[in-house]
A and B are shown apart, each in its own frame.
Chain A
Amino acid sequence: DAKTTQPNSMESNEEEPVHLPCNHSTISGTDYIHWYRQLPSQGPEYVIHGLTSNVNNRMASLAIAEDRKSSTLILHRATLRDAAVYYCILRDGYNQGGKLIFGQGTELSVKP
């Protein structure tokens, strides 16, 4: 069901940047790219979203390829608290109230 593909796992060192890739080759023109993450023993939480342009917020940056078939979530300085499963999710802009379709996500581990 998921329309995105991500690596199963990635490792990072604390205080170094992390680039989490996502492929979404079948993205449609009205799909927004959303990222959620799930910290251990918690529910998922929203991280960032974008349509075409790169986006920045206090948590992360989102770089979107020009053809929109891939994107990269960037954590500028990973902390131990960033260890989580990161999900890249497409959401139809005309149905923003609809369900989230989770894939397997990328499990990020951060080493001190």
Chain B
Amino acid sequence: EAGVTQFPSHSVIEKGQTVTLRCDPISGHDNLYWYRRVMGKEIKFLLHFVKESKQDESGMPNNRFLAERTGGTYSTLKVQPAELEDSGVYFCASSQETRGLIHNEQFFGPGTRLTVL
């Protein structure tokens, strides 16, 4: 079974440019999450999709970040325009439908390292 995949693995852009990160969750997983770690800080939650709906977007830092999950499969996270402080590693995770489950493990992708110059 394929795990969570993310593309690209690395991205280097200049301040003011636009970057789009993609996440393909494990097939059949309804829940999809985005997290990020900026330099020297802890891993922070950004948002949570249940299928194509945004369940929780309380961690999105500002309106320069736009996440979509059309059709409830893969997701994209667009940063426009990128700023220096957006540099970091962006992780995507997915998990099964939670109804009736006591434990719901999140499976993480390898991350996308974003560098804004």
Contacts and interface: CB of A to CB of B under 8 A. Distances in A.
A70 interface: no
Contact of B43 (A97, A98, A102): A102
B2 interface: no
Contact of A98 (B4, B44, B48): B48
Contact of A102 (B42, B102, B104, B105): B42
B72 interface: no
Contacts of B108: 42-45
A97 B111 CA distance: 20
Interface stretch (B14-22, B60-68, B91-99): B91-99
Question: For chain A, what secondary structure do more than half of its interface residues adopt (helix, strand, loop), or is it mixed?
Answer: loop
A99 B34 CA distance: 9
Interface residues on B, range: 20 to 34
Given A2-B42, A104-B42, A96 B93 contact: no
A104 B44 CA distance: 11
A105 B41 CA distance: 11
B110 A41 contact: yes
Given A43-B4, A43-B93, A44-B91, A100 B44 contact: no
B106 A100 contact: yes
A104 B41 CA distance: 8
Contacts of A96: 98, 101-104
B74 interface: no
With most chain B CB atoms within 10 A of its CB, the pick from A38, A96, A97, A104 is A97
B8 interface: no
B98 A99 contact: no
Interface of B: 4, 31, 33, 35, 42-45, 48, 50, 55-56, 59, 91, 93, 95, 97-98, 101-111
Interface of A: 2, 32, 38, 41-46, 49, 93, 96-105
